[in-house]
Structure 1
């Protein structure tokens, strides 16, 4: 093991096959963390090859983290290794009106974004609390501040994560374990294609954030032990406005961005 690895410790990054998750893993590697990366896609192996080139040890696991069994499989693969940083980034989106969605897909969003995420955090967080040290970064979203018309379940799941992160941070404030939440806005990843939102205004917006920039902001916040960070000044403004804007108005504004066919209207 090289000197980088000894200095950094071990970071676990979920949803690390592409997008913000991959960039978070890259930030960790560049700071000398060895990596355990996981995703539900074969691309996690390609990501591991690229990350090993940075000079750290990387273990990859293709696993469905929307299930209790999948999280247990990840924890079993970790064994008794000490996790210094957990970057809980795995997530799924889903566009279109709620009543038109396949409930299996609805359930998958909830189980990935909420159930699997909080279960993994509890499993790893308990060991961190026992040791009296560790860093947790949760990928929330500014979507959690906005009622998400035509993205209702996704935004609701992010509202849960944003709230959960603040509560958990307070519970762990005297333990040596820090909890940070990264709240990006629309980011240039595969998210919108996977969520079937390419025909929406937000899906076709060419001014999305760079995932590398977003990840760096989140990584820096985690390392500094900051509670929350919104990536990008426009997103910070949007959050500030969301805090003083009535929910029905926010829902109407979101509809304009996320309603199917809005890109051509």
Structure 2
């Protein structure tokens, strides 16, 4: 079953693609023969496009805030009606420190980026895929979604939503020709912890996985049509532990990783 007209290059849409896992996912797509529409909420997306064109892809860069309806609609409009063969919905935001100490505007931005904007984009592109009977969707969840996230409560909750949602959508589409895969990374060497205000935490200062390795595992799982992939042996072990440990124990474990270091 072809997804693009015969002779045409396949098109991949990648969000959160200016750096980190998103950029590496876009690189995987370009190296595998896709043209790209890439998006992020920062001007660095243009620099990412320049690098990705070096892999022979035609790349359209869209700077848009995918936490907003206008941002998602702008991104969809940039497709100009061209069918999307692969949607890699990677855009996400983190937020550290205690919930009661967080600014509510920042909380809302995490929820609207990680959940609301992702759902709006997946629904619009997914409907087009279902109508054609072909397509691949990769959602970037997290092993954080398996743990109550003390000092990262909103982020972990948002990733629990995405982890769950991906499996539900996969089941709904199981006979449609559209596959849904959830990539569940652990701590990864990206700008995530800086943006989340978590550089003063053990997890922010600890060793992390390589973004390129994480992206390759996610891309391979998507291409195979697998339901989910946890990248890295250590993360697989942590995910297994999270499925058997009581929630209070997991919350205490997460506190040790994410609680800001006390001064003095």
TM-score (norm 1): 0.96
Root-mean-square deviation (CA), in Å? 1.3
How many angstroms does 1:103 deviate by?
Answer: 0.2
How many angstroms does 1:56 deviate by?
Answer: 1.0
How many angstroms does 1:7 deviate by?
Answer: 6.5
CA distance in 2, matches of 1:256, 1:47: 35
* Residue matched to 1:155: 156
Q: Deviations over 1:32-54 (max 9, x none)?
A: 00000000000000000000011
Q: Residues 105, 31 of structure 1: CA spacing in aligned structure 2 closer, same or farther, 3 A cutoff?
A: same
Structure 2: segments with no counterpart, 5+ residues: 1-5
- Written as runs of structure 1 = structure 2, the 5 A alignment for 1:133-152 is 133-152=134-153
Counterpart of 1:147 in 2: which secondary structure? coil
CA distance in 2, matches of 1:72, 1:7: 25
Answer yes or no: is 1:227 the counterpart of 2:227. Answer: yes
Check conservation: 1:91, 1:112, Cα contact below 8 A: yes
Q: Deviations over 1:19-66 (max 9, x none)?
A: 000000000000000000000000000000000011110000000000
CA distance in 2, matches of 1:6, 1:85: 17
Answer yes or no: is 1:94 the counterpart of 2:75. Answer: no
Q: Residues 7, 212 of structure 1: CA spacing in aligned structure 2 closer, same or farther, 3 A cutoff?
A: farther
CA distance in 2, matches of 1:187, 1:138: 16
- Written as runs of structure 1 = structure 2, the 5 A alignment for 1:110-149 is 110-149=111-150
Counterpart of 1:164 in 2: which secondary structure? helix
* Residue matched to 2:72: 71
CA distance in 1, matches of 2:40, 2:7: 25
How many angstroms does 1:76 deviate by?
Answer: 1.3
* Residue matched to 2:3: none
How many angstroms does 1:79 deviate by?
Answer: 2.1
- Written as runs of structure 1 = structure 2, the 5 A alignment for 1:182-193 is 182-193=183-194
Check conservation: 1:7, 1:33, Cα contact below 8 A: no
* Residue matched to 1:80: 81
How many angstroms does 1:218 deviate by?
Answer: 0.2
CA distance in 2, matches of 1:66, 1:260: 27
* Residue matched to 1:175: 176
CA distance in 2, matches of 1:6, 1:30: 17
CA distance in 2, matches of 1:103, 1:26: 35
Q: Residues 103, 224 of structure 1: CA spacing in aligned structure 2 closer, same or farther, 3 A cutoff?
A: same
CA distance in 2, matches of 1:11, 1:47: 15
CA distance in 2, matches of 1:31, 1:74: 22
